[in-house]
A and B are shown apart, each in its own frame.
Chain A
């Protein structure tokens, strides 16, 4: 590369190609592909066969049989994971939308308050937030004579919704700020009020740019629902542990069993990941 850059400065060293493209900063470092799923399936298959073949005199049940026997239970547990992720995402999105609007508020006090809240919940580890909610929320609430017991999984949903809220707030702020300032200025010059500018001009344009990172966040949240196993919610990882115990703690079952659970998650998040990257390409900011 010998031609001078704009401004006549000579080029001192050449950048790697990947950094010279316009969208270098938005390049996804690693995407989930179908190959990951095939590799995972192969792993489960191989460990299952190896486990089945290595048994001694009185052969215990083949690993495939064991997996097939417990699949309905594991799927029910996985459904619970999905339910938790839906609820946490719903609550987190509603709260995060308001928090994100607070982040771009014209009032300095609201802006800084929202910023502090966002930073706090974004930088605290998810597991610590989960522990906090499990231990600090009351065991039951009293409405007059009515006593409602809060189940563990509901506390876990709240614990997961808080970091989701902070991340959604950042997504909203990023989406709004990705709209060129000319849009704001044009709306201003046409006599729209601040609320009209935001709701009728900026937000409709930025919503579609918020969708890919929002879906990304959802995939992350789905992975994070397994954390609730640690605080005692009986979801798929807890059930996998119980299956392992019910089968007499066979060590040859460990790899296929947890690989099998991993496959559930792959088949759930792979469509989300591929749709996210498709939407990202379609809504890419072109300048």
Chain B
């Protein structure tokens, strides 16, 4: 589970690339809301995308862990 948690944190940390002008999701969203002045909409879109990304990752990690689980080994 802790490996999954680290990956989730890694996905969340990718937003920091914004600070050095890497054109990632947050940066592009910023360009969009500067262009079409729709900050509230873009904020909701951003949240939905990130929650979906993390949710997908957590789902994949949990099912992978379940598939790898060896009865009697660990808890």
Contacts and interface: CB of A to CB of B under 8 A. Distances in A.
Contacts of B33: 135
B42 to A, nearest CB: 9
A66 B16 CA distance: 29
Contact of A128 (B8, B50, B72, B75): B50
A125 B54 CA distance: 10
A8 to B, nearest CB: 12
Interface string A211-249: 000000000000000010110000000000000000000
A124 B26 CA distance: 12
Contacts, number: 49
Given A128-B26, A128-B47, A135-B43, A123 B8 contact: yes
B72 A125 contact: no
Majority secondary structure of chain B interface residues (helix, strand, loop or mixed): helix
B39 A125 contact: no
Contact of A135 (B19, B26, B39): B39
Contact of A120 (B12, B16, B51, B72): B51
Residue among B8, B19, B33 with max Cβ neighbours from chain A (10 Å) = B19
B26 A127 contact: yes
Contacts of A124: 12, 47, 50-51
Majority secondary structure of chain A interface residues (helix, strand, loop or mixed): helix
Interface residues of B, number: 23
A9 interface: yes
A126 B11 CA distance: 11
A132 interface: yes
B18 A126 contact: no
Contacts of B39: 135-136
A131 interface: yes
B18 A127 contact: yes
18 contacts: A9-B72, A123-B12, A123-B54, A124-B12, A124-B50, A125-B13, A125-B14, A126-B15, A127-B26, A128-B26, A128-B43, A131-B43, A131-B46, A132-B43, A132-B46, A135-B33, A135-B39, A136-B39
Interface of B: 8, 11-16, 18-19, 26, 33, 39-40, 43, 46-47, 50-51, 54-55, 72, 74-75
Interface of A: 9, 19, 25, 120, 123-128, 131-132, 135-136, 227, 229-230
